[in-house]
Amino acid sequence: MESKDDLEIYKTTEYKRFDDMDFLSYELLRGINDYGFRDPSYIQGATIGKIYAKVDLVAQSQSGTGKTGAFTIGALSRVNSKLNKPQIIIIVHTRELAEQVHSVISDLGKYMSLKITKCTGDDSRAEFYKDKYRSFNEAVSTSHIIVGTPGKIQDLVERGILKTDEVILAILDEADVLLTKDFTKTIKDIFCKLPKSAQICIFSATYQQEVIDLSNKFMHEPEYLLLDNEELSLDLIKQYKVDLQYEKYKYETLQDIYKNIHIGQCIIFVNSKEGVDSLVRRLVNDGHNVSKIHGGLDTASRCNVLKDFRLGVTRVLVTTDVLSRGIDIQQIGIVINYDLPNNVAQYIHRIGRSGRFGKVGVAINFITDRDQAMLKEIMDHYDIKIPDMPAFDFIDKQLSGSKGHLELSDN
């Protein structure tokens, strides 16, 4: 067992190498290496030791900085594999994000003999668990780590299926979304059922009053790690614009990009589900293999689309902002804003799907006359200039530098 001096070192050290984190088990280090990590990102180096040292933490970090890796590795460093009871609860705001975090933490902890259960609205069907456990309820009650959405976790806690007496750590991911009027009461109800000694870690892209209120009520002398990573994320993404006088010119411009750039995997953002459906119909009619995601699809369909996209079954995904936050797909080279987003915050979340964890990405923005005001607002907010799109072969050369090591990052 570590001394107080050891914990103080872990709490205050900013680590540059995973091997220097001597509190990580050999099995966990093997999982980290297998996943493709070599060195921690800034937020990982700054927070993993704090999580292990039982520090209540509020960490602010933007897209593409390694946030998911930070809290999953931190959580795995604290779990006791010999105690077959829920010890760590990770709360996320969508089923897709729960699927992703569950996959990441399972891969990282694959040598640690752990049970990790995903709890979302439709995971309790009996056939889902019949090969591993007698029931979903048994899976929950004997798991070391629970990853789930607020409503499902609250329901399991209230029904006594998810017992919290051995919970040592609760993590909120994308807290700026979770702590809205839709989720705040649910989160507070869950926290009220945790042991008073439980550690709480909050990860958020923005630092808002709801986070402060929650930390004041439930956290023990929390540390605040407020990272200004907007510039860091943007530095890795080459941003361009294409000025178009009329909306109707967008599609033929997209066709030109298709014909002249080796785009690999690409996400195209459209502002409405009707717009997504219309664009996908045109692309399919012209012989392109594309997939789509928007809020009108059920969660199972959305997860299947994401799975196929990750596996490379489809290379182009057309989506609304439902996919702009939290979802990690490692090989995306280009993000196209077919429609410019309606606010500046959404812009960085969208383009942050590329340029992740040290890899070069390209963002191309289609700009009509009515987008000029929003474009200026985006450039003023981030203090950037977005130049006209250069020759296609120049973009190809930039994208050739985006293929690299595997990454593990958040939103």
- Tell me, yes or no, whether 302 and 256 share the same domain: yes
Asked whether residue 25 is assigned to any structural domain, the reply reads yes
Asked whether residue 408 is assigned to any structural domain, the reply reads no
Chosen domain end from 194, 228, 262: 228
Domain region containing 378 = 235-399
How many other C-beta atoms are found inside a 10 Å radius of the C-beta of residue 152?
A: 23
Q: Which two tokens stand for residue 324?
A: 């702009």
When divided into structural domains, the chain yields a total of 2
Chosen domain end from 174, 204, 228: 228
Q: Whole-angstrom Cα distance, residue 314 to residue 28?
A: 32
Asked whether residue 182 is assigned to any structural domain, the reply reads yes
- Tell me, yes or no, whether 68 and 204 share the same domain: yes
Chosen domain end from 195, 228, 261: 228
Residue 109: per-residue pLDDT: 97
Asked whether residue 407 is assigned to any structural domain, the reply reads no
- Tell me, yes or no, whether 193 and 245 share the same domain: no
- Tell me, yes or no, whether 278 and 149 share the same domain: no
Asked whether residue 405 is assigned to any structural domain, the reply reads no
Instruction: Kindly report the CATH number assigned to the domain that includes residue 339.
Output: 3.40.50.300
pTM, entire model: 0.66
Q: Is residue 318 helix, strand or coil? A: strand
> Cβ contacts of residue 340 below 8 Å, gap of 6+?
347, 365, 366, 367, 371, 374, 375, 378
Closest CA to 104 of 310, 299, 292, 265: 310
Give me the amino acid identity at 22.
D
- Tell me, yes or no, whether 211 and 302 share the same domain: no
Asked whether residue 411 is assigned to any structural domain, the reply reads no
Q: If the chain, 411 residues long, is cut into consecutive pieces of 10 residues, what is the mean pLDDT of each piece? A: 57 82 96 86 90 93 77 98 97 88 94 95 54 74 96 95 97 86 88 96 80 85 73 70 91 89 84 95 92 85 83 88 65 88 84 67 92 93 88 67 37 36
- Tell me, yes or no, whether 191 and 255 share the same domain: no
Q: Which two tokens stand for residue 2?
A: 């570590």
**Total residue length of the chain:** 411
Asked whether residue 178 is assigned to any structural domain, the reply reads yes
- Tell me, yes or no, whether 222 and 371 share the same domain: no
- Tell me, yes or no, whether 211 and 263 share the same domain: no
- Tell me, yes or no, whether 330 and 363 share the same domain: yes
- Tell me, yes or no, whether 279 and 372 share the same domain: yes
Contact 371, 340 (CB under 8 A): yes
Asked whether residue 410 is assigned to any structural domain, the reply reads no
Q: Is residue 200 helix, strand or coil? A: strand
- C-alpha dihedral (401, 403, 409, 411), degrees to nearest 10: 70
- Tell me, yes or no, whether 219 and 277 share the same domain: no
- Tell me, yes or no, whether 96 and 241 share the same domain: no
